Amino acid sequence: MEKNYLKTPLIIFSFLCLALVLINSRFDYSWDDWRPASCTASTIGCFCEKAGDGLLRQPVNTYSSLSFTLLGFIIFNRVRRDVKIGVRKNMLSTKLIYGAVFAASLALTGLGSAFYHASLSFAGQTIDVLGMYFTVSFILMYNILRSCCMKESHAAVLYIIINTVLSCVLIFFPGVRRYIFAFFLILSLLLELRYQREKRHDIKSKYLLLAFFIILISFCIWILDAFKILCSPESLIQGHGIWHIGGAVSVWFLYLYYRSENVV
């Protein structure tokens, strides 16, 4: 059955979550010696969830972050099967390297975000945003490769250069991190719209629309949570956690969109 690709990722993810639960229950750790994240010095703080002491300072936001890691596992396993079977004629379904980079960037995003919310440290913030940069720059480079004749080797070098520069900017100018991410996301979307007009390949555009609307709704929830407009600090339902899950679902539909393409 096609859904067998879920079995292994779910098993690995379950062990990861179980290990985190056991570690959190057995170890009492303080992050006080770590450089704090930028949000701790802002007027609105670090999102709605109450920051406690111990290993996981924001448990809900920590665990919900791992939805990106699960998505990375699932995408890699499905791409691996697609490459073996040859179900579609597109780069993501015929060359494992694309799925591997995409999946790794998502896994890093999830682990980095979990580290960020567990510690509320600058190191966690940096790794969190790095994963987001790796993901959005992959989407950008993938769209460029699909729409023009750039060599894969040149795209790989450019991908490394982009993320090296973004890493330096993130460390020395952390305040601009969200604007950079938004810029890359918008640029990727514009390139994709242009690609659709010019190429007109067999592709299921409904998946792209779903991805767009889900991330838009999730971002609205992010704003409501970040500015504490809708906020219950000790609740198990956190707006920022919904943002994490919504973001992962949005990326899943983006993957389905790319996977549905048949280049003729």
Task: Quote the radius of gyration of the chain (alpha carbons, Å).
Answer: 19
Q: pLDDT per residue over 65-114, tens digit each?
A: 999 999 999 999 999 999 988 777 889 989 999 999 999 999 999 999 99
Class of domain 28-259: mainly alpha
Whole-number Å distance between alpha carbons of 35 and 119? 10
Q: 14-23, 24-33, 147-156: which has the minimum mean pLDDT?
A: 147-156
Under the banding of pLDDT at 50, 70 and 90, the label for residue 192 is: confident
pLDDT over 70 (residue 10): yes
Q: Where are the beta strands (DSSP E) in the chain?
A: none
Nearest to 256 by CA among 248, 264, 189, 140: 248
Flag whether pLDDT at 189 surpasses 90. Answer: no
CA distance 137 to 149: 18
Q: What percent of the chain has pLDDT over 70?
A: 98
Q: Where are the domains positioned within the chain?
A: 28-259
Q: Is the pLDDT of residue 200 over 70?
A: no
pLDDT band at 3 (very low <50, low <70, confident <90, very high): low
When pLDDT is averaged across residues 223-235 and rounded to a whole number, the result is: 95
The secondary structure of 12-73 as a DSSP string is HHHHHHHHHHHHHHH-----TTSPBPGGGGSSS-S-SS---SSS-SSHHHHHHHHHHHHHHH
> What's phi and psi for 121, nearest 5 deg?
-110, 160
**Residue among 144, 141, 133, 17 nearest 70 (CA):** 17
**Is residue 148 over pLDDT 90?**
no
Res 1 pLDDT > 50: no
Range 203-214 average pLDDT: 93
For 28, other C-beta atoms within 10 Å of its C-beta total 9
Per the confidence metrics, is the pTM higher than 0.85? Answer: yes
Confirm if 103 and 135 have CB atoms less than 8 A apart.
no
pLDDT above 90 (res 263) = no
Confidence check: pLDDT of 59 > 90: yes
Q: Is the pLDDT of residue 55 over 50?
A: yes
pLDDT range class, residue 2, cuts 50, 70, 90: low
Q: What does the pLDDT read at residue 42?
A: 85
